[in-house]
């Protein structure tokens, strides 16, 4: 049983995290350090271990604030180089925790440029509770990300939500962590061309009055154009996400603009490659497309691809090149 990390951007939180490469690596190393033994621990035991690791790495405990009753309340658990971390495993209100990230801006000793909120997925809680026989409850990753819309006007600081997920993933033949996203995109689109048996226009730029957007690929069919948006699961290294981030709304606006200036008979297809949590998929999509309001009036599809099939294609491609 291994740990992996799901991420969700609020106000481009993951984008900000990616600019702080050393701190990002340090945070991920701390969270994943217990991966081989995670099935032995309870939620609270795991929290104690990673708290000790944060302190050992030089993260400070920032001072708390006093509420209206004079009770001291921590604004976050750890702070380093103006990055704040909150471990939300035992929290009763993730929204209140987000507001405390914002509150921290009022005091020089707690000001941060980025908030990191760590929680667990529902599947992680279920699997670890079953494996350890110990409590692993609490508000889950997907519930938290769905609740963030109501905080748009109250919280302006970038926040990256990190969800712990457990997997039984096989060893990959492609190094996702070190493969640049541009190379991964090219390989995936090549695989899709082989799978569909037809040409895909790659990295198509749309320029309009209100948009300047690159689409990963466009599949032009007689009846309609299919705009392809590539998504990799958490094991996909640093591959960017639109579907599970604050970037989805401007992206959808670009798709609507494409319909207006290029071809009305168009739809959007998300290509989901990897080990996506079934709970996240079922709560994001329904038979008619995406279940959220931002897809209203837009035809949306999704297609699930496995890493195993993708890697089998890459193996065949390598063999063909060696024989040539």
Q: Look at residue 89 and tell me if it is in a domain.
A: yes
Q: Which long-range contacts (CB under 8 A, 24 or more apart) does 68-77 make?
A: 73/100, 74/100, 75/100, 75/101, 75/103, 75/104, 75/110, 76/100, 76/101, 76/104, 76/110, 76/112, 76/115, 77/51
The CATH number assigned to the domain holding 293 equals 3.40.1350.10
DSSP state letter for 293 = G
Residue 22 shares a structural domain with residue 130: yes
Which DSSP symbol is given to 134? S
pLDDT (0 to 100) of residue 176: 67
Q: What's phi and psi for 60, nearest 5 deg?
A: -100, 155
pLDDT at 90: 83
One-character DSSP codes across 201-235: EEEEEEE-SS-EEEEEEEEE-SS-EEEEEEEE-TT
- 26 and 89 share a domain? yes
Rounded to 10 degrees, what is the CA torsion of 213, 161, 81, 15? -10
With left for phi above 0 and alpha for psi between -120 and 50, is residue 197 left, alpha or beta?
left
Cross-strand pairs, 271: 230, 303
Same domain, 144 and 17: yes
Claim to verify: residue 113 and residue 147 sit in the same structural domain: yes
3-state SS, residue 33 = coil
- Contact in structure between 273 and 231 (CB atoms under 8 Å): yes
Q: Within this chain, do residues 120 and 64 fall inside the same structural domain, yes or no?
A: yes
Structural domain total, the chain: 2
Domain boundary at 167, 197, 217, which?
167
Q: What is the structure's pLDDT at 111? A: 94
- On whether residue 318 sits in a domain, the answer given is no
Pairing relation of β-strands 83-87 and 78-80?
A: antiparallel
Across the chain, which has 324 residues, the per-10-residue mean pLDDT values are: 87 93 94 84 92 95 84 93 94 91 92 96 92 90 89 93 80 68 92 96 89 94 96 72 81 92 93 82 66 73 90 86 72
User: How many Å apart are CA 313 and CA 321, to the nearest integer?
Assistant: 12
Residues 153 and 187 in one domain: no
Q: For residue 106, what are the domain limits? A: 2-167
Any domain includes 322: no
What pLDDT score was predicted for residue 61? 93
Report how far apart the first and last C-alpha atoms of the chain are (Å, whole number): 41
The DSSP string of 51-68 is: HHHHHHTT-B----EE-T
Residue 28's pLDDT is 94
Please tell me whether residue 1 adopts helix, strand or coil conformation.
coil
Residue 165 near residue 124 (C-beta atoms within 8 A): yes
Q: Which residue has the tokens 């639109």?
A: 242
CATH of the domain at 124: 3.40.91.20
In a domain, 175, yes or no: no
> Is residue 197 assigned to a domain?
yes
| Residue 323 falls inside a structural domain | no
Are 111 and 105 a contacting pair, CB within 8 Å? yes
């Amino acid at each position: 049983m291994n740990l992996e990390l799901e991420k969700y951007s609020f106000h481009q939180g993951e984008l900000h995290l990616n600019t702080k490469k050393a701190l990002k690596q340090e945070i991920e190393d701390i969270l994943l350090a217990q991966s081989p033994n995670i099935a032995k621990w309870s939620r609270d035991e795991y929290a104690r271990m990673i708290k000790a690791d944060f302190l050992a790495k030089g993260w400070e405990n920032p001072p708390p604030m006093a509420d209206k009753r004079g009770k001291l309340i921590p604004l976050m658990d750890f702070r380093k180089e103006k990055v704040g971390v909150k471990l939300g495993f035992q929290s009763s209100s993730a929204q209140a925790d987000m507001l405390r990230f914002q509150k921290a801006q009022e005091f020089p000793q707690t000001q941060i440029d980025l908030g990191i909120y760590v929680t667990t997925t529902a599947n992680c809680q279920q699997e670890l509770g079953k494996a350890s026989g110990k409590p692993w409850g609490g508000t889950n990753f997907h519930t938290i990300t769905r609740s963030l819309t109501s905080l748009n006007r109250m919280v302006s600081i970038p926040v990256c939500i990190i969800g712990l997920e457990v997997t039984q993933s096989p060893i990959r033949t492609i190094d996702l962590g070190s493969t640049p996203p541009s190379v991964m995109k090219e390989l995936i689109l090549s695989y899709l061309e082989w799978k569909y048996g037809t040409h895909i226009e790659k990295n198509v730029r749309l320029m309009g009055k209100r948009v300047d957007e690159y689409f990963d690929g466009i599949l032009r069919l007689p009846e309609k154009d299919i705009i392809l948006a590539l998504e990799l699961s958490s094991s996909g290294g640093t591959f960017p996400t639109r579907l599970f981030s604050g970037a989805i709304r401007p992206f959808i606006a670009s798709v609507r603009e494409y319909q207006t200036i290029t071809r009305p008979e168009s739809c959007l297809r998300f290509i989901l490659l990897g080990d996506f949590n079934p709970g996240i998929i079922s709560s994001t999509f329904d038979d008619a497309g995406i279940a959220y309001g931002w897809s209203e009036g837009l035809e949306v599809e999704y297609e699930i691809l496995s890493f195993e099939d993708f890697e089998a294609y890459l193996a065949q491609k390598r063999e063909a090149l060696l024989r040539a």
